[in-house]
Amino acid sequence: VVTVYELLEEMLDNGFPLATESNILKEMIRPPTILRTMVNTLTGTSNFEERLPSGQLSTIPWRRSGVKYTNNEAYFDVIEEIDAIVLVWDIGRLNPQKLPNLRGSLSLQAGAPKPEDNPSINIALKIQQLAISGLKVNRLDMYGEKYKPFKGVKYVTKAGKFQVRT
């Protein structure tokens, strides 16, 4: 029971995994044997190692400390896969008289269920190397259907144009 507690104590640090490599744990907490149990009972010591193993600070944690190998070789099969859609929009300096436009459309797949009357659409924009706390949207134009005013909209024209409150 004590060995299990000591293992859990070393493996978890405030609920987060810390030392999980079996060779490191064997160096920190010596596996119990009948002889070691009797010696621990007579001397009052425990299975817990008094010093930290040098292998814990090693760059190769799965090797036990003090073991010598004739070759330092490791073979790995590295498989990388990436699925990405990257949109790079370089606008250079912004001209205040002619601000850039970002246009898009929302379409449903054939057979997809019809969304609720006022679905939420989240748009995330990231502008690198710009030291501002947020992105100010001066105007949001929506075309194609008659839209009802919703929270955040200042007014709606007959053409279906909205202006976002700023």
Higher local confidence (pLDDT), 127 or 38? 38
- Global pTM reads 0.24
Q: What is the pLDDT of residues 107-118, one digit of tens each?
A: 677 777 776 666
CB contact set of 93 (below 8 Å; sequence gap of 6+): none
Residue 75 included in any domain: no
User: Is the distance from CB of 93 to CB of 130 less than 8 angstroms?
Assistant: no
Residue 40 included in any domain: yes
CA 26 – CA 113 distance, rounded (Å): 57
Residue 85 included in any domain: no
- The pLDDT > 70 percentage for the chain reads 26
Residue 16 included in any domain: yes
Quick one: average pLDDT of 53-70?
Answer: 59
Residue 31's domain spans which residues?
A: 2-57
Residue 66 included in any domain: no
Quick one: average pLDDT of 45-61?
Answer: 57
Number of domains in the chain: 1
Quick one: average pLDDT of 66-88?
Answer: 69
Residue 18 included in any domain: yes
